[in-house]
Structure 1
Amino acid sequence: MAEYSLEEKDIIKALSKKPMHFNELAHLFSLDKKGRKALKKLLKKLKKEGTIIVEGGRYRLVQEEVVIGTVLANPNGFGFLEVGEGKKDIYIPPFEMEKLLHGDRIKAKVVEFKGKKEIRVLKVLKRGTKELVCSVKKEKGQCVGIPLDQNGFHRVFLPKDTCKGLKEGTVVLAEIVRYPSKESPMLGKVKKVLGHPAEKNLIVDIIIHKYKLPLDYEPEALKEAQSLSIDWEKELKRRRDLRDQICFTIDPPRARDFDDAVAIEKTPEGNYRLWVHIADVSYFVKEGSALDKSAFERGFTFYLPDRAIHMLPERLSADLCSLKPNEDKLAFTCEMVFSPKGDLLWYDIYESVIRSKTRLTYDEALRLIVGDPVLEKKYQDLVEPLRIMEDLYRILSYRRWERGSIDFDLPEAELIVDEYGEPTAIVPYERHIAHRIIEHFMISANETVAKHLTSVGYPCLYRIHEKPDPKKVENLLEILEGLGYKVKRFSLEPKFFQKIIEDFEGRDEEHLVRFLTLRSMMKARYSPHNLGHFGLASDGYTHFTSPIRRYADLVVHRLLKKALRGESIDYEQTVSYLEMVGEHLSLQEELAEDVEREAIDRLKVRFMKAHIGEEFEAIITGVVSFGFFVELKDYLVEGLVSVSSLEEDEYIYDEKAHRLVGYRTGKIYRLGDKVRVKLVSVDEERGRLSFVLAEAQKPS
């Protein structure tokens, strides 16, 4: 046989017609011994690259699947491509991540390698970041920035003179000048010096720059805010004047923007007439204005431990819109009448002018409800309304419980920081009856507004919460079985999950079960398509009650005003707009949650640095092959007990039962177990705590 000069393209062309055995290919190309050896080598290479696979002894081409998605980087050097639409993320190997950054939008082909799907980059469509927060390092005469986020496996080479005036470890904001490729590293320049961690607490500043949160408003938006005023003569003529009504606000002690005020009375028929007054932000923020564009981009107010990054400038959030006591304010009112059984008998929604009589904190409201002679004397006019509110709250709460509303009510810990942003204490945050009164009244107003817009045939930006994924529910029940809880059959109805939580009330695992149940749920989101709210067991729900800090509520206010005025709208065009708004705001909400969670978690880790060597009561919240995670009872801080620290035995990981089992002693550490642990180390840079079991806890 003659030697054949074989190339990859020849093999691909042949296999594109049909799958073939090795001998078939050798025969097709008339290969001699040397040629067969070359064929084997080429086939091995194509297989490694994921171009071909072997099935039933035959080589076949992998059908090329091209996808577009967003890169999710891992600090360990690999990543995943998020392709959306409920599809599973696809693995990105380290050699492809060399040229990618977290958040990049790319086009890629999907290949199979060692039986698993992974991607090969075809094109970077859009870069996810232009700036990186980096820690400055000096390496072999080079000035290098190490990103302090998911991109930490990359290095940013900075101009040499940058390092001359900076101490090693200084944190900077680096602007990317050249993106990484296989041939060349990433280049950048220092845009801003944030400081050195040893000299200043940089945690919140780093997070703000990491997530690119907007610290400043556009000059045009600020100019608009300063020029705003109220035409009182006109507004008093066209609005309902409720300034004489005894209404008031109930908020946390440090609140500065007051979205909502409430008032109540008992009718002669024994019904409850409730007024929920909401700040009329839409009077000031007009569609298409600079203020509106700025508010839409932010979507939310971002609450951080030492500051808030407001959706609206302070002139609006803390002054014009805020329902401050003893000032005339423009409001949007939802007035509702409930029967003694909690039935909504009647409602009205209208624009109003109100004057809050006082500003109460939640704790003050509670003391007035249960009886505090000093406060009762100070707020004589509020005692009766608050106690009527308590009665209505209990009626509404029971009614919602009857229909299946799920109360996740996870324990919270408040992080106290000083004027320099340093964490000084972690204290339990108590949610009591005063919180619940306001919470239930806001739910009623939100449901009523959603009901109204639906009934008049207007579109609405609903707050939807879909039924959970059955697979996640099965996983939840599998975990609960390890806690001794057995279910004969499950249903995807709110009542089923409500019962799970109730069955664990009072047990050590109660808070863990609430968290696990919440984790099995879908995420609530914004949409113009009413799919109901599963967690509240509600047929229709929206967000109407917090327009100072949520853009969704502002959108609903505008729709309501148009509906109340009988304005004609293009229904399909409005729905299309609301789909876009809902998608954007759902993403912004996720961002706000990530930012707030990371800031609190990292500051908690910093606070725990002063407690190294101390022992704590904890509960096991997660079990993995390399150890188990614990949450401290007092501080609600999570950390890891490494399996390597359990030196008295070798432990086997029982994944299905979520436990570690001692090979010799039979000692078991399972999800939900109470343990006593000692804090041994704190990794501030990665935000991690390491624990070991306290001596008294170790098996002998």
Structure 2
Amino acid sequence: MLQNNALLAQLKQDIRANTPRAQGTIKATDKGFGFLETEDGTSYFIPPPAMKQVLHGDRIEAAIKEDGDKKQAEPEKLLEASLDRFIARVQLREGRLAVIPDHPSINQPLKARIKRSLDEASIADGDWVVARLVRHPLRPDDRGFFTQIDELVVKRDDPAVPWRVTLARHALEQECPPAAEAWPLQEEGLTREDLTAEPFFTIDGEKTRDMDDALRVETSDDGWTLTVAIADPTAYVDESHPADQEARTRAFTVYLPGQNVTMLPEALADDLCSLKPEVERPVLACRLQVGRDGTLGEYRFFAATIRSQARLVYDDVSDWLEGVNDAAAPAAAIAPQLEALRDLAQARAAWREQHTLVFKDRPDYVFDLDDAGNVLDIRTETRRTGQRMIEEAMIVANACCADLLSREVGHGIFNVHHAFEPEKLDPALEFLAAQGIEVEREQLSELPRYRELRRALDDREDAWLDARLRRFQGYTNMSARPGPHFGLGLPAYATWTSPIRKYGDMVNHRLIKGVLKGEAAPAEASQRLTEQLTERRRLNRMAERDVKDWLYVRYLGQSLDQGTVYDADIIDIRRGGMRVRLSANGATAFIPAPMLHSDRNQVAIDDKEGRIQIAGEPCYQLGGTLRVKLVEAREATRSLVATPAE
């Protein structure tokens, strides 16, 4: 009787209108059920049948319905799919094709088809592919999940899987760019000073091929004269050259354990532009004065030609300067320069300690790999004298570049870093006030005031406070306009010392050359370019982290049964447990809450405050340390699971 009745339609509409709704993000569990997490922190249960309509990370709108004294979310509308382009493994079962997304929280097979332009016979079970989600159950007229395989990334048994998959995940290039047939020097209208007779030298890692900086140090009564000579790829590549267009897209050389994917063709990066010993190379140079007290004096940029007289290695230089037994002495023309550079670096470090910001050193972890990509060892490398000298030389050279571009051009590619994101200033003030630290807003937003605050906070030596405060802090961005770099404590910072590896440095090279030639300043870099540089740098760092995570799991997973105990730092606390970093090798591991105590009800985790209590007693907090054992290495998710050591 009510069929096709207007009253029934109105009744349904009224019921729908009166049903509460919420928008949020899907959080899946490995037990089949999930939750809808809203922006205000409310969490609604989603039963297993309803979870078949959504994927972890989907943003949806759901109806909120009562189930006894509990509320459940019923997915209704897709706002944003968590999957679009994604990496997956092929699953072939009885002629049926599916893909399993390479995601720690999505492990269900999704039906798939192969793009017509691909050879279907080349795709086999277990291969790694790029796929795209083309249907979603919550979209109108879509009855289920369906995907398309767009690209074969790598065969399942290829030793290069970690590298190929990671680069594909972040849409980064797999190979170095192609080389041109010839690389003639451009006619740039510059007069190059002949410095080939001066004893320049380079200091790099033992395996470095793209050597982009050479130094010359002279001592005077007032301090030192430092000449920084930088490789000059823009002498070979103008802005219209295909290699420049490709470099602009790539933005950076990608450095991964065991593999580099260069920004410029290898013929340029590792040969013509590399400042190899005993060969003439065009450079862009800066000759600058550093006082005995570490102050930076006058400087001058100019084009030149040099011939490096020594290719030195960090450890060898450090051994000699630090008096390590049997350390080989450098050539007579180089040895006094190294001693002078050590003294200059110490003076600059002391000046920065007083006038800028200096943060604690963190070790680097180096992977020794065989030809098949297997990890032989993970070594800890600390910053020694050799690295410190080069670091200080590059900082003063880049400070000079920032000053020149700010005064003479008004724009360039600057590294701008604010201590706190603007939208996080008020929460940071509230957090500090809650810790009994009353500060003014300007102390977080103005560089001179922030220097004072940062030193006061460092004097507290409170690792928990420092770790919590980092949640409010900002990231370094590329900007066309000068701006402060809070991390270095400098009013402006613009790099030009790595043009082989960074496209922004190539841009700055061209601007410096324009100043030398007296040309009118060109238009400033577009926001699109600076955003692209910032984003590509982020992707490169994520790719490096992802490959390392894969290698950590493979290497450390081989020795789980040995019961090795590691010292670890607590770097994150979540509702489900805590993340730690192993001091011995830099690997990160997760300690699930059930492994903190045999009775889960005795574990109270405050993820907002970064503290964990067990049986009412404070036990762990952000920035703290503990000893752990690894109990599981999951290659599928590239994750390590640990437990506190007894």
Q: Given the two structures, how large is their TM-score scaled by the length of structure 1?
A: 0.76
Aligned residue in 2 for 1:601:
549
| More relative contact order, 1 or 2 (CA 8 Å, 6+ apart) | 2
Indicate the larger mover: 320-329 or 333-342.
333-342
1:480, CA displacement in angstroms? 9.5
Q: Residue type matched to 2:637 in 1?
A: R
| Structure of larger gyration radius | 1
Partner amino acid, structure 1, of 2:533: L
Q: Which residue of 2 aligns with 1:564?
A: 516
* 1:491-510 → structure 2 map (5 Å cutoff): 491-492=443-444, 493-501=450-458, 503-504=460-461
SS, match of residue 179 in structure 2: helix
1:422 partnered with 2:374: yes
Question: C-alpha separation between the residues in 2 aligned to 1:355 and 1:308?
Answer: 26
Deviations 1:113-156 (A, max 9, x none): 7999x9955899xx9965x4322224565221112147946744
Match of 1:272 among 215, 224, 227: 224
Q: Does 1:134 align with 2:83?
A: no
Contact 2:56–2:106 (CA<8 Å) still a contact in 1?
Answer: no
The 5 Å alignment of 1:527-538 reads: 527-538=479-490
1:206 aligned to 2:206?
no
Per the alignment, do residues 215 and 90 of structure 1 end up closer, same or farther by CA in structure 2, a change over 3 Å counting? farther
Pairing of 1:178-577 with structure 2 (within 5 A): 178-180=134-136, 182-189=142-149, 191-192=151-152, 194-196=154-156, 200=159, 202-216=161-175, 222-223=179-180, 226-230=181-185, 238-267=191-220, 269-371=221-323, 375=327, 377-469=329-421, 487=437, 489=439, 491-492=443-444, 493-501=450-458, 503-504=460-461, 520-570=472-522, 574-575=523-524, 577=525
Q: CA deviation at 1:425?
A: 1.6
Give the deviation of 1:286 after TM superposition. 0.7
User: Within 2, Cα distance between the matches of 1:123 and 1:631?
Assistant: 33
CA separation of 1:473/1:259 partners in 2, compared to 1, >3 Å: closer, same or farther? same
Q: Which residue in the other structure is 2:68 paired with?
A: none
Per-residue deviation, residues 218-246 of structure 1 (Å, max 9, x unmatched): 6xx522xx311348xx8999211111111
Cα RMSD after superposing both structures: 4.2
User: 1:261 deviation in Å?
Assistant: 0.7
Cα distance, 1:530 vs structure 2: 1.6
Question: Which residue is equivalent to 1:681?
Answer: 632
1:7-22 to 2 correspondence within 5 Å? none
Q: Which residue of 2 aligns with 1:669?
A: 620
Q: What SS does the aligned partner of 1:222 have?
A: coil
Could you give the per-residue CA deviations for residues 247-284 of structure 1, whole angstroms, max 9, x where no partner exists?
111111111100101111012x4331000110011111
Offset at residue 499 of structure 1 (A): 4.1
Is contact 1:257-1:548 (8 Å) kept? yes
| Match of residue 581 from structure 2 | 631
Offset from partner CA, 1:659-688 (integer Å, 9 cap, x none) = 222237x46233344322222111111122
Aligned-residue offset at 1:555: 0.2
The separation in 2 between residues aligned to 1:654 and 1:44, in whole angstroms, is: 36
**Equivalences for 1:20-169 in 2 at 5 Å?**
40-45=14-19, 47-48=20-21, 132-139=86-93, 142-149=96-103, 152=106, 155-158=109-112, 168=125
Higher alpha-carbon deviation: 675-684 or 209-218: 209-218
Secondary structure at the aligned position of 1:536 is classed as coil
Unaligned runs of 5+ in 2: 66-70, 445-449
What is the aligned partner in structure 1 of residue 447 from structure 2?
Answer: none
Query: Is this contact kept in 2: 1:162–1:190, CA < 8 A?
Result: no
8 A Cα contact 1:328 1:355, kept in partner: yes
Q: CA deviation at 1:599?
A: 1.0
Alpha carbons 1:146, 1:156 under 8 Å: kept: yes
User: Does the CA contact (< 8 Å) of 1:298 and 1:311 recur in 2?
Assistant: yes
The one-letter amino acid paired with 1:186 is F
Quick one: structure 1 residues 667 and 432, their matched pair in 2 at CA, closer, same or farther if it must change by over 3 Å? Answer: same
User: How far did residue 205 of structure 1 move?
Assistant: 1.8
- The residue matched to 2:566 in structure 1 has which SS? strand
Deviates more, 1:71-80 or 1:176-185: 71-80
Indicate the larger mover: 356-365 or 652-661: 652-661
Q: Is the 1:261–1:356 contact (alpha carbons within 8 Å) kept by the matching residues of 2?
A: yes
* Counterpart contact for 2:256–2:547, Cα < 8 Å: yes
Q: What secondary structure sits across from 1:196 in the alignment?
A: coil
User: Hey, what's the Cα distance between the residues in 2 that align with 1:442 and 1:273?
Assistant: 14
Q: Aligned letter for 2:580?
A: V
Code of the residue aligned with 1:194 in structure 2: it is V
Question: 1:433-491: per-residue Cα shift (whole Å, max 9, x none)?
Answer: 22111111111111111111222244222111123148857877999999xx8645473
Structure 1 stretches lacking a partner, 5+ long: 9-34, 51-70, 82-86
| TM-score with structure 2 setting the length | 0.82
Give the whole-Å Cα distance in 1 for the aligned partners of 2:519 and 2:88. 53
1:318 is paired with a residue whose SS is: helix
2:539 to 566, 591, 598: 591
Letter in 2 for 1:355: R
3-state SS of the aligned residue for 2:489? Answer: coil
* CA deviation after TM superposition for structure 1 residue 432, in Å: 1.4
Return the offset for 1:566: 1.1
Distance 1:378 1:578 in 2: 46
Q: Is the 8 A contact 2:432 2:439 kept in 1?
A: no
For residues 91 and 653 of structure 1, the distance between their equivalents in structure 2, rounded to whole angstroms, comes to: 17
Would you say the 8 A contact 1:332–1:349 is kept in 2? yes
How far is 1:618 from its partner?
2.4
- Contact between 2:284 and 2:304, CA under 8 Å: does it hold in 1? yes
CA distance in structure 2 between the partners assigned to 1:89 and 1:230 by the alignment:
60
Report if aligned partners of 2:176, 2:261 keep a CA contact under 8 Å in 1: no
| Cα distance change, pair 301–536 in 1 and its aligned pair in 2 (3 A) | same
CA distance in 2, matches of 1:408, 1:80: 37
Corresponding residue SS for 1:399: helix
Question: C-alpha separation between the residues in 2 aligned to 1:538 and 1:681?
Answer: 44
1: CA distance, partners of 2:334 / 2:436? 48
Aligned match of 1:25: none
In 2, the alpha carbon distance for the partners of 1:410 and 1:280 equals 31
User: Matched residue pairs, number?
Assistant: 610
Q: Would you say the 8 A contact 2:589–2:641 is kept in 1?
A: yes
